[in-house]
Amino acid sequence: MAEAVEFAHRGAVSITSNILKGVHKKLPFLKLKFTELDNAAFPHLPDQLEFLADVVEDFAEGVEEDLPYATVASAVFALIYAQRQIDTVPDSASEFGHAELSAVVRAVLTEHEKVLLDYAQRHKMPWNDITFEP
């Protein structure tokens, strides 16, 4: 897990406001793609990705403008990584791709747990369902 945390951290550092704006524009499409993820080994992955998409959306639209930028940047990185994994990993290798993606998403959720838990509570979202392993 430490490798996934470091990978997510390095990726988040590269997220600029222009990248955030670009991802924000793609969120409806990304959310649709996330609902299509179907892997019994990673049943919570679609909900986790949608949660991170909601965080980014609320920040970009000013609903949650006080969220730390580091948290939002990490969420953006996870969403970008998810899109790349979904677009590039063939269906025959999806379990491996989903394992990597799940590790990155869990790393973001774990690294920013306090901020994201507070966000989930403000929006009456079931944090325990979102963070449930795997």
Report DSSP letters for 8-21, one per residue: HHHHHHT--HHHHH
Predicted local confidence at residue 91, as pLDDT: 47
- CA pair distance 5, 10, nearest whole angstrom: 9
pLDDT in tens, 95-113: 556 788 899 999 999 999 9
- Domains of the chain, residue spans: 2-131
pLDDT in tens, 89-98: 554 445 556 7
Predicted local confidence at residue 132, as pLDDT: 67
